[in-house]
Structure 1
Amino acid sequence: MNYRVIKHNDLFLMTDLHGDVPGSSAQDGLYMRDTRFVSKMEIKLNGKRPLLLSSAADENYVARIRMTNEHEEIDGEVKLWRESVELIRERFIYGDVLYETVFLTNFSTKPLNFDLGISFDADFTDMFIVRGFQPADELGKITERSADTKHWHAAYVGADGVRRETSISWDTEADAMSSEGDALYKISLEPRETKRITFTIIPSVEGRVVEATPRETALAELEAAYDGWNEKAMKVKSDSEVLDKLFDRGVQDLRVLLTDFGYGLFPVAGLPWYAVPFGRDSLIAALQMLPLDPKIALGTLEMMAAYQGSEVNPWKDEQPGKIMHEMRSGELARSGQVPFAPYYGSIDSTPLFILLAAEYAHWTGDTAAIERLMPSLERAFDWIDNYGDRDKDGWVEYYQESSKGIANQGWKDSADSVVHKNGEFAAAPIALIEVQGYVYQAKTRLAPILERIGREETAQKLRDEAERLKQELDAAFWMPEEQFYAIALDANKDQVRSVTSNPGHLLMSGIVPEDKARIISQRLVAADMFGGYGIRTMSSESTGYNPMSYHDGSVWPHDNSMTLIGMSILGFKEEASTVISGLLKAAEKFEYNRLPELFCGYDESIGYPVSYPVACSPQAWAAGTSIVLIQAMLGLKTDALNRSMTLAPFLPAGINRLTVKDVPIAEGRLSVELKRTGDGEPLQVDIIENTSGCEIVIAD
């Protein structure tokens, strides 16, 4: 990554590798609620940018940047000898406050005198504008800038009538300070002497008062929070260094992406541009996180239910019962210049909402939560039947109504993602193949739960509807000449005959006949779909294939994870092993062994996975993929309703030992060890602990 980002709760900071927010930058800054509260934050020594030594944000919530000075000489007289000053910037976010401490150490043999300049600014730019949106209406104005030698403050009143403020304080009085945000310190250091200056930056919306906790206390509380998360989280140890690092990175990334919007911890989509509530992304991330912390799923469901569609509103692509796509709270959204407050243009969020509720109950046995959610679940089913299938042909399909909404409303939401064999883009309404699988899974998995809570008639109705869907799927979507499912049906009910990764999502649903499920799995790891680092989004033999594209040939880890869940459930261990080995190979090459949102779909013969230029990192469902890898290797299926679980374990080639501890299931925990003496040897399964109350069945 060519940037550094840290986050806690609803506040995140994005800088360059020096830790600066350059005033000329189009994107860096301190953001909260889709607003940039700091648009400039630069440090200079004697008016010059320090030289970068190292830059790390591997802990996600703390960043450390180490720099030094360049050589300065005027008319033969040394003003500042090279590398004589060590400058360390350490920053973290806690309690909606950014803390930054600058440490200055003299490593020369003589006393040093130099200027330290620190510049701040706040432009209060809306996230949409930062990312290139051109507003048609008038925006707000900065109404105040003030400063003294220990403070700087700016205020802005937006077109939405909301007052936004940035307040910056520091613990060491500056020698000079301007209202424009330029602070100057005259620094004197004896040899080996260190001085430090701590800044606190507090964004505020509508006059909300935030008090900064003392730095050491704030850092200790922040570290304690992460220690608590790590202590209760599932733990993994294997003989594969990259697997262990990928898993640990995923757990840490998921924690930093959790935000509490008032309904419990909730996974936002990703950094830097999607640190907001999403429908599809957050629901899938919560599904991936069931083996890590099922409570995240419950918080996600409660949040989605709170913002469920309540009216027909074409501007927002909203209908009653629909689950939102994305919720923004910046100036443009609040003033109605964009429809994202919230926006509902997603065809899959609603069935995924029901699907997650069902899988949560099967994982935990918590039927009481389903009873509480039943009004929202019923409205979601009504949306599927009435608005999701407006022409009553049995398929759930999308059509954009909002003039500033999203045209393609599946997870592949770029304009060119649903393309015919002749190169033409499919016309809406469009019925995506994976969405039909989500609907089937939602109905079949929720049915037994409804029986448990006394809704037998509704349960049977869902089973009957699901069976009709299963019977009709092949006639509509199966391409005999490709031996594969089409990605979609277009407005004319014609197949969109591209070979893509989308049908892989069907495998976990149970809608695919067993013979076709094996064919799909084998095709997904064939050379045209699998380049060595993961399943591509589109076959290299399809018309629209482009390894550099966002959705037509790239590799998305979460996309692979959805397929892996199905491969594991169905017992396709060889194909699942291939996918896991590819993802591990990719993770080995990325910074911090972190899988990004996506990467290019080039073949592994290049020697490394090719980065996609604007991929989010960290990103929730990419981080969640690391959890799915472990679930898949365990072959773990839970049935907490009937107090049972199944393990059908395997280990990919090159991994001979895997220990997984503290998997939360039902009311307890599961710890398991898999081991074999060498490749090809039988796998030994040892149950270390099982306090779940569920009987374990070990399958081949």
Structure 2
Amino acid sequence: MNYRAIKENNMFLLTNPSGNIFSEDAYGLGLYIKDTRFLSHFETFINGESPILLDSDGSSNYVSRMTLTNPHQEENGEIKLWRESLEVAREQFIVENVLYEKISFKNYSPQSIEFTFSVKAQADFKDMFLIRGFQSGNIGRLTETLSDHDQLSFHYEGADDLDRSTTLSWNQQGKADKDDRTLIHFPFSLKPQEEKELILNVSAAIKDQFAGVPLNYEEALEKLESSHEQWNAELPSVSSDSEVLNGSVKQGLNDLRVLLTNLGHGPFPVAGLPWFGVPFGRDSLIAAWQMLPFYPEAAKGTLFTMASLQGTKENEWRDEQPGKIMHEIRYGELANTNQVPFTPYYGTIDATPLFLVLLSEYVKWTGDLKTFELLQDNVDQALEWINKYGDRDQDGFVEYFQESAKGIANQGWKDSADSVVHRSGKYAEAPIALSEVQGYVYHAKTGLADVYEAVRQGEKATLLRQEAEKLSDLYENAFWLEEERFYAIALDKEKKQVGSITSNPGHTLISGIASENRSRAVAEKLVSPSMFSGYGIRTMATSEKAYNPMSYHDGSVWPHDNSLALLGMSKRGYTKELKTTVEGLLQAASEFDYYRLPELFCGYEKEKGRLIRYPVACSPQAWAAGTSLTFIQSLLGLFPNVLTEKIILNPTLLDDMNHLEVEKLPVGRGYLSLKLKREDGFIRVNVLENTTGLKVVSSQPVESK
């Protein structure tokens, strides 16, 4: 990862490893809030020269720390500053919409030194869509730049009639450069071993909103650290004899904490940094699903957030229909002036059934029928959308078709233009019915049937089961590729199979839409040489004409894509395929900093060399971070159902593991603590704690403490 990313609630910062910001960088470096870049350049100098980076530490996830030193400097044949005389330590974090930075200076020279430390800052107030290069449009103008001895501010008048401003302030006497008032100089003198500090604050404002009031630096840092300590203290703990598994889970949980946001309906995960730090239909829903065993509150917050943005009318510009769950919402200048339809935009085929899947899984995990009752109107509207608008031609399948002139053509999770392709190499034409979406719909209807039955609405439960069984029959007949012993990725507008072998059918394993024999064949194909790279399941098999290991969706490996297949393998008891997939992903995690799985990586064969990174993968990414949590659920084979008063376990350990212990998993109104241990070649389960009131049913021998 060639950048450092920190985030707190609605503000996030992207810098290069040195802590600087350059607007032309490919990652879109900057300080952001509400899809607007409030700091587009931030650079430091020692006597007019760039410091030398010694170390850059992004492991803490919410604080970036860098250590730098000075280059050797001479003037007119005399030494101005001997090389490596000065240690410069930078520390950056965000609290309550204020960016804090402490820059510490220590003199390691045996002599006293004098130097000028300078900071150059600029703000372009650029919309995220413009930074990504996806759109052009009418924009506002920078109105003024003001500088003084203690602050520098930039002011912008938006095309959406919103005034935006960025204010940089500091705790030392500073002086603007005579030729460039965005360049501020700070003179320092240090005795041997002496240390001094410069504190900088950056705040952003949109018509006086989000303008945080800077706190004392140490007070702000203590507040931030306390919130993260509390987060970790309240989560289940995981320990095993796999360092990579432990590290990946720890990093995943830390990343998810950073990506949580609250828009007034409870905590939910935004999709990821740098491009998708916003509410995002399928990403937020899947990440919340992955988090259920550790933090079910995220599922609840995600459900209420999505319900608050549910479609209410037919609007082609936004691909909106009544009952539809949104795809993505943006808050920048282009969205506010309706130059892009993301206000929100509804061009997604899978968010609506995933909303229902998450709700049913959440209720089964927690027993929280009150949430279901509060959302029942939203549920009914979503079900109506599936049957009416989702099934455009009433053939029984849910399919997508782009209406918006500036919308997205492919509206499944593989949403790039080349992602749904026939074996001939010809791109499929919409309306398109995707394999995994039919699985989501089946999962939603069967899961909700159980919930409706629990609230004594038996007629609705019966109807949903009937609709689900009809869909299963249709799916088996229309999508199955007998020669390949696999399912097609999709049906095109002519109802022809799009027969390329892809990872999409792996998502259906957990749903139950397919028969046992065919589901097992899918699992076996997913870990076959053509689909499994050694680091994970590829998005497309190497045997396909469109296969490209460097592509975004046609041969790369996506951790979240693997995670949904993992849950299905675990639930169905496909232990061999499960272990192969987890072992591959852990091998991948070991090759990334801090064991952090990114959004995706290239699908090259492991035996041909080391893992090859995808150049612009988001990291941290919510559903990639959540993948590590599914390792734990899948190895435990843990599928509780409060409605039936049972906790199903189908536990296993990886071949090089001998124990796995998980404490304080929240289930129902209590907690479950488990320990798996390999003894004499067998996996034994020790229930250390069970305050859930539910019966544990396990495929392996169970002992109670």
| Bin for the TM-score computed over the shorter chain | over 0.9
CA shift, 1:77, in A, is 1.3
CA shift, 1:24, in A, is 4.4
Aligned pairs (5 A) from 1:539-554: 539-554=541-556
Whether the aligned pair in 2 keeps the contact of 1:233 and 1:662 (CA below 8 Å) is yes
- What amino acid sits opposite 1:688 in the alignment? L
Match of 2:703 in 1: none
Match of 1:523 in 2: 525
Rounded to whole Å, the distance in 1 between the matches of 2:217 and 2:59 is: 20
Whether the aligned pair in 1 keeps the contact of 2:176 and 2:182 (CA below 8 Å) is no
User: What secondary structure is seen at the aligned counterpart in 2 of 1:14?
Assistant: strand
- What amino acid sits opposite 1:427 in the alignment? E
Q: Which moved more, 1:240-249 or 1:601-610?
A: 601-610
Match of 1:34 in 2: 35
Rounded to whole Å, the distance in 2 between the matches of 1:206 and 1:370 is: 38
- What amino acid sits opposite 1:301 in the alignment? L
TM-score by length of 1: 0.98
CA shift, 1:511, in A, is 0.8
User: What secondary structure is seen at the aligned counterpart in 2 of 1:403?
Assistant: coil
Whether the aligned pair in 1 keeps the contact of 2:148 and 2:175 (CA below 8 Å) is no
Match of 2:363 in 1: 361
Structure 1 residues 574-615: Cα deviation after superposition (integer angstroms, max 9, x where no partner)? 110000000011111111111110000011113321100010
CA shift, 1:283, in A, is 0.2
User: What secondary structure is seen at the aligned counterpart in 1 of 2:643?
Assistant: helix
Match of 1:198 in 2: 199
Rounded to whole Å, the distance in 2 between the matches of 1:600 and 1:666 is: 40
Match of 1:502 in 2: 504
Whether the aligned pair in 2 keeps the contact of 1:315 and 1:401 (CA below 8 Å) is yes
- What amino acid sits opposite 2:72 in the alignment? H
Match of 1:294 in 2: 296
Rounded to whole Å, the distance in 2 between the matches of 1:513 and 1:645 is: 24
Whether the aligned pair in 2 keeps the contact of 1:23 and 1:41 (CA below 8 Å) is no
Whether the aligned pair in 2 keeps the contact of 1:249 and 1:594 (CA below 8 Å) is yes
Match of 1:420 in 2: 422
Residue 678 of structure 2 corresponds to residue 676 of structure 1 = yes
- What amino acid sits opposite 1:87 in the alignment? V
CA shift, 1:210, in A, is 2.1
Match of 1:151 in 2: 151
Rounded to whole Å, the distance in 2 between the matches of 1:534 and 1:13 is: 31
Match of 2:409 in 1: 407
TM-score by length of 2: 0.98
Rounded to whole Å, the distance in 2 between the matches of 1:675 and 1:177 is: 66
Match of 1:338 in 2: 340
User: What secondary structure is seen at the aligned counterpart in 1 of 2:233?
Assistant: helix
Rounded to whole Å, the distance in 2 between the matches of 1:111 and 1:677 is: 65
Rounded to whole Å, the distance in 1 between the matches of 2:273 and 2:25 is: 17
1:266 to 265, 268, 273: 268
Whether the aligned pair in 1 keeps the contact of 2:520 and 2:574 (CA below 8 Å) is yes
Structure 1 residues 557-581: Cα deviation after superposition (integer angstroms, max 9, x where no partner)? 0000000000000001111000000
Whether the aligned pair in 1 keeps the contact of 2:168 and 2:202 (CA below 8 Å) is yes
Match of 1:599 in 2: 601
Rounded to whole Å, the distance in 2 between the matches of 1:58 and 1:273 is: 21
Structure 1 residues 236-256: Cα deviation after superposition (integer angstroms, max 9, x where no partner)? 110011111011000100100
- What amino acid sits opposite 2:409 in the alignment? A
Query: Which 4+ stretches in 1 moved above 3 angstroms?
Result: 23-26, 175-180
Rounded to whole Å, the distance in 2 between the matches of 1:356 and 1:25 is: 37
Structure 1 residues 503-539: Cα deviation after superposition (integer angstroms, max 9, x where no partner)? 0011000111011111111111000000110000001
Structure 1: state its 5+ residue gaps: none
Match of 1:565 in 2: 567
Aligned pairs (5 A) from 1:41-120: 41-120=42-121
Residue 637 of structure 2 corresponds to residue 635 of structure 1 = yes
Rounded to whole Å, the distance in 1 between the matches of 2:450 and 2:25 is: 54
CA shift, 1:176, in A, is 3.6
Aligned pairs (5 A) from 1:237-386: 237-386=239-388
CA shift, 1:299, in A, is 0.3
User: What secondary structure is seen at the aligned counterpart in 2 of 1:689?
Assistant: strand
Aligned pairs (5 A) from 1:445-484: 445-484=447-486
- What amino acid sits opposite 1:477 in the alignment? F
User: What secondary structure is seen at the aligned counterpart in 1 of 2:653?
Assistant: coil
User: What secondary structure is seen at the aligned counterpart in 1 of 2:324?
Assistant: coil
Rounded to whole Å, the distance in 1 between the matches of 2:33 and 2:182 is: 20
Rounded to whole Å, the distance in 1 between the matches of 2:25 and 2:499 is: 43
Q: Percent identity?
A: 52
- What amino acid sits opposite 1:152 in the alignment? L
Match of 1:187 in 2: 188
CA shift, 1:665, in A, is 0.4
CA shift, 1:342, in A, is 0.6
Match of 2:131 in 1: 130
Rounded to whole Å, the distance in 2 between the matches of 1:352 and 1:408 is: 17
Match of 1:222 in 2: 224
Rounded to whole Å, the distance in 1 between the matches of 2:290 and 2:619 is: 17
Q: 1:358 to 1:134 in 2, by over 3 A?
A: closer
Rounded to whole Å, the distance in 2 between the matches of 1:103 and 1:31 is: 25
Match of 1:161 in 2: 161
Match of 1:121 in 2: 122
- State the Cα RMSD in Å: 1.1
Residue 390 of structure 2 corresponds to residue 388 of structure 1 = yes
